[in-house]
């Protein structure tokens, strides 16, 4: 179109606004400014998206003095006398959205996803976002949007007032048409920030104080949130230029902070996961999983079936026990109805998803499945029988997976004629919610089967981590040592409630003893037996199991539970258990000691780290980052501490152990 210049963000794969790319972009903005024939500018993106924002790799180093950043590009757009229209398609995140906010108009397609996810990296929007958004949609809505950090659809962004138009067709086409009308400049920098429609400016301090009160404490993952709120306070109280300066200083503090370094480590570690033997499994040849099978309708089997259904993959669940099937049907319906209540699904969607799970006792119905996961009783002979049967009914190309948490995958593969298509898919309870998936490689598992498992992991929105075929794989192998150390502390006279309180203080959602109670003490005892004995010096666990104190499910384990306290899930310290530990320790000749909180924390973390190091040496885990992902996504390790391996190495901690 005459007079309209298009600047296309094109820096594959995600149009990150790296320092090198910003230099080019600035040149393009300046060229458009100089060219008298250009009357308006449209900014759009190539590669199926607008931009994923700043290049996170650039944050690793000190900024060179002559570096050109997004801030310079945005300042040039702001200075320009020509109107800018952003044409947004696909992801428009972080610095990408901040660039769009500096444009005078924003038009997006139905595919667009807009967000300021900096907080998830322990940062704040540092290219004017904290100053422009409160001027566009009000401080209260801006805070909510930035503190959450999630992306929204174009329709939602329009409702919020972030967009001028959300179009069904092509955003670029519409942006070009708009630019051709020579619309007026609308610099946000010249506007006043406001709190919200119908909220007077005087309510500002209250809104900010409330946001501070709701954010986690600074030392418990809330540092970026508090700084972000401070930046918005600057938007409300200071002239634009001063606010920008304040934002930049706060951003610089965060970029160097330990929580942000840890969260950025987690971000990159996650993207390394599919890279195995020098190949990116997420791009390697794989089977498409269009339908799935599950054997066993217990808790695990139904959870896995729901996970498939949620990903739009129809699934056949085989079980011959009518009672188990009835319970599973109820679990499935209950789960989808709950999502309707929460407003996450419509009645119709819930119905459709529930319909995509078929229960049957007829094994031959597994014939169409591309992947079949067995989730039957944890017994090798039972599982080997299942694999023999599956080998007979499944199509040749199908991948057969076991959901075992401790057994040898090769012993199952060897009873089939397709050991190359057998692997472990270790889901975590509840399987439809927990984001971790350990993919276990047997000694004959083919690369294609692994690639299929990784693709499936992505479809199920899980973090798939490769593990070698060793007892307990990565996560549980480490947790055994961790729980063993917790027991050792209790044997030395530290009350279980104190051990748990220290680990909650570190940032875990629950301590080791509450965790044991949740998974069941009988389960723990059975695993210890399978492993060839427990590391404990006393028999307290066996005594508890013998007394039917099996954990939360029997309302007593290491702790007591009471229906009227936290719906029966809140651990209540039990002096009886402390006495059991004291008596058993006396018999075993273990003297009680004074143990500091730091020692409790460091000994437990060291147990994780030392086992993690050994798993790396043995090749069970590929990279320290893989171990960290397992712990962050599977076991509640605080992400702002980066995972056990990162914590031990970067923070140089654990000196008290
Ligand atoms: N910087 C550097 N690299 C990035 C990146 C970024 N912002 N975003 C993605 N990448 C890289 C990934 O590392 C990956 O590289 P690899 O192929 O070498 O492993 C590649 O791009 C593809 O990424 P994904 O595998 O994640 O691709 P998806 O299609 O699954 O997801 C995405 C795309 C939704 C854009 C996702 O990558 C994402 O969420 N990225 C981060 C977005 C973000 O946090 N932006 C804010 C940055 S901070 C900022 O802008 C500061 C500013 O306020 C000053």
Band (pLDDT 50/70/90 cuts) for residue 652 is low
* 357 strand-pairing partners: 315
Shared domain check, 342 and 215: no
Order across the sheet with 84-88: list the strands: 4-9, 40-45, 84-88, 105-109, 165-167
How many Å lie between the centroid of ligand 1 and the Cα of residue 113?
14
Shared domain check, 481 and 460: no
Total residue count of the chain as it appears in this document: 657
Nearest alpha carbon to residue 391 among 419, 410, 365: 419
**pLDDT tens sequence across 287-338:** 899 999 999 999 999 999 999 999 999 999 999 999 999 999 999 999 999 9
Q: Is the CB of 133 under 6 A from ligand 1?
A: no
Span 468-490, average pLDDT: 95
Query: Count of CB atoms within 10 A of residue 187's CB?
Result: 15
Domain count across the chain: 3
Shared domain check, 505 and 391: no
How many Å lie between the centroid of ligand 1 and the Cα of residue 337?
34
- Check residue 529 and give its pLDDT: 82
Shared domain check, 444 and 482: no
Q: Is the CB of 125 under 6 A from ligand 1?
A: yes
- Closest Cα to atom 19 of ligand 1: 271
Task: Supply the CATH number for residue 300's domain.
Answer: 3.40.50.720
CB-based burial label for 543 (10 Å; 0-12, 13-18, 19+): middle
Residue of 78, 98, 485, 492 marked catalytic: 98
Span 233-262, average pLDDT: 97
How many Å lie between the centroid of ligand 1 and the Cα of residue 331?
37
Which of 438, 469, 500 is the C-terminal boundary of a domain?
Answer: 469
Shared domain check, 110 and 241: yes
- The pLDDT of residue 524 is above 90: no
Shared domain check, 361 and 244: no
- The pLDDT of residue 657 is above 60: no
Q: Is the CB of 54 under 6 A from ligand 1?
A: yes
Q: How far apart are CA 623 and CA 64, in angstroms?
A: 31
| Residue bearing tokens 């038009």 | 107
Span 158-177, average pLDDT: 97
Span 492-502, average pLDDT: 98
**422-427/4-9 β-pairing:** unpaired
Shared domain check, 494 and 534: yes
Shared domain check, 71 and 107: yes
Q: How far apart are CA 345 and CA 222, in angstroms?
A: 31
* 439 strand-pairing partners: 425, 466
**275-276/279-280 β-pairing:** antiparallel
Shared domain check, 523 and 401: no
Q: How far apart are CA 135 and CA 140, in angstroms?
A: 11
**DSSP string for 548-560:** T--BGGGTBSSSB
- Check residue 527 and give its pLDDT: 83
- Check residue 384 and give its pLDDT: 97
**pLDDT tens sequence across 111-130:** 999 999 999 999 999 999 99
Residue of 39, 62, 78, 118 marked catalytic: 118
Residue 249 is part of which domain span? 4-256
Cβ(119)–Cβ(94) under 8 Å? no
Helix/strand/coil for 506:
helix
Q: How far apart are CA 401 and CA 388, in angstroms?
A: 13
- The pLDDT of residue 656 is above 80: no
Report how far apart, in Å, the C-alpha atoms of 562 and of each of 75, 559, 568, 574 are. 60, 10, 5, 12
Shared domain check, 578 and 434: no
Cβ(354)–Cβ(310) under 8 Å? no
**DSSP string for 437-498:** EEEEE-SS--HHHHHHHHHHHHHTT-EEEEEES-TTTTHHHHHHHHHHHHHHHHHTT--HHH
Ligand 1 binding pocket mutation candidate from 50, 54, 56 (most atoms within 8 A of CB): 56
How many Å lie between the centroid of ligand 1 and the Cα of residue 278?
21
Order across the sheet with 91-93: list the strands: 91-93, 113-115, 152-153
Q: How far apart are CA 124 and CA 252, in angstroms?
A: 10
- Closest Cα to atom 15 of ligand 1: 271
- Check residue 528 and give its pLDDT: 83
Domain contains 595: yes
- Check residue 474 and give its pLDDT: 97
- Check residue 654 and give its pLDDT: 61
Band (pLDDT 50/70/90 cuts) for residue 649 is confident
Q: Is the CB of 57 under 6 A from ligand 1?
A: yes
Catalytic residue flag (residue 258) = no
- Closest Cα to atom 11 of ligand 1: 14
User: Reduced to 3 DSSP states, what percent helix, strand and coil does the chain have, rounded to the nearest 5?
Assistant: 50, 15, 35
- Check residue 387 and give its pLDDT: 98
């Amino acid at each position: 179109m005459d007079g309209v210049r298009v600047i296309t963000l094109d820096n594959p794969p995600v149009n990150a606004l790296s320092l090198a790319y910003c230099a080019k972009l600035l040149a393009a903005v300046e060229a458009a400014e100089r060219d008298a024939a250009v009357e308006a500018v449209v900014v759009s993106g190539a590669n199926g998206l607008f931009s994923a924002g700043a290049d996170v790799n650039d944050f690793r180093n000190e900024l060179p003095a002559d570096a050109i950043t997004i801030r310079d590009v945005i300042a040039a757009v702001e200075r320009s006398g020509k109107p800018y229209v952003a044409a947004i398609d696909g992801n428009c995140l972080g610095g990408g959205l901040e660039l769009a906010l500096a444009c005078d108009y924003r038009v997006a397609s139905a595919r667009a996803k807009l967000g300021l996810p900096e907080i998830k990296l322990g940062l704040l929007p540092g290219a004017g976002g904290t100053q422009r958004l409160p001027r566009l949609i009000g401080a209260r809505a801006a805070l909510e949007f930035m503190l959450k950090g999630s992306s929204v659809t174009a329709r939602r962004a329009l409702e919020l007032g972030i967009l001028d138009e959300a179009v069904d067709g092509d955003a670029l086409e519409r942006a070009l048409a708009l630019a051709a009308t020579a619309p007026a400049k609308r610099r946000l920098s010249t506007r006043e920030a406001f709190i919200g429609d119908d909220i007077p400016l005087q309510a500002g301090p209250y809104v900010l104080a409330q946001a501070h009160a709701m954010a986690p404490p600074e030392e418990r993952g809330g540092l970026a949130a508090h700084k972000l709120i401070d930046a918005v306070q600057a938007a409300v109280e200071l002239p634009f230029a001063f606010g920008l300066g304040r934002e930049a200083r706060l951003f610089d503090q965060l970029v160097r902070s330990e929580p942000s370094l840890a969260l950025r480590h987690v971000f990159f570690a996650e993207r390394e996961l599919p890279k195995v033997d020098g190949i990116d499994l997420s791009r390697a040849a794989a089977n498409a999983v269009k339908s799935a099978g599950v054997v066993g309708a217990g808790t695990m089997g139904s959870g896995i079936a729901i996970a498939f259904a949620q990903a739009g993959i129809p699934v056949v669940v085989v079980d011959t026990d009518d009672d188990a099937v009835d319970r599973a049907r109820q679990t499935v319906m209950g789960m989808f109805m709950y999502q309707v209540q929460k407003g996450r699904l419509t009645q119709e969607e819930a119905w459709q998803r529930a319909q995509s799970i078929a229960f049957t006792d007829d094994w031959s119905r597994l014939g169409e499945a591309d992947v079949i996961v067995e989730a039957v009783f944890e017994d090798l002979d039972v599982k080997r029988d299942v694999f023999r049967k599956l080998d007979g009914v499944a199509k040749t190309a199908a991948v057969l997976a076991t959901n075992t948490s401790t057994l040898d995958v090769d012993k199952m593969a060897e009873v089939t004629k397709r050991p190359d298509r057998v692997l472990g898919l270790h889901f975590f309870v509840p399987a439809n919610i927990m984001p971790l998936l350990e993919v276990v490689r047997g000694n004959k598992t083919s690369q294609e089967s692994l690639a299929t498992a990784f693709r499936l992991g992505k479809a199920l929105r899980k973090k798939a981590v490769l593990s070698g075929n060793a007892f307990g794989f990565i996560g549980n192998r480490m947790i055994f040592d961790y729980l063993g150390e917790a027991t050792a502390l209790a044997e030395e006279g530290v009350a279980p409630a104190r051990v748990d309180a220290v680990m909650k203080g570190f940032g875990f959602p629950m301590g080791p003893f509450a965790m044991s109670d949740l998974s069941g003490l009988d389960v723990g005892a059975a695993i210890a037996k399978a492993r060839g004995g427990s590391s404990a010096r006393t028999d307290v666990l066996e005594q508890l199991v013998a007394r039917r104190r099996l954990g939360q499910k029997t309302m007593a384990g290491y702790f007591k539970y009471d229906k009227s306290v936290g719906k029966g899930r809140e651990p209540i310290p039990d002096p009886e258990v402390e006495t059991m530990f004291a008596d058993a320790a006396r018999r075993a000749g273990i003297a009680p000691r004074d143990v500091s909180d730091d020692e409790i924390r460091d000994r437990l973390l060291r147990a994780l780290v030392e086992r993690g190091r050994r798993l790396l040496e043995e090749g069970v885990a590929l990279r320290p980052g893989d171990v960290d992902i397992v712990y962050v996504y599977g076991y509640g390790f605080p992400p702002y501490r980066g995972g056990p391996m990162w914590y031990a190495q970067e923070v140089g901690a654990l000196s008290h152990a």
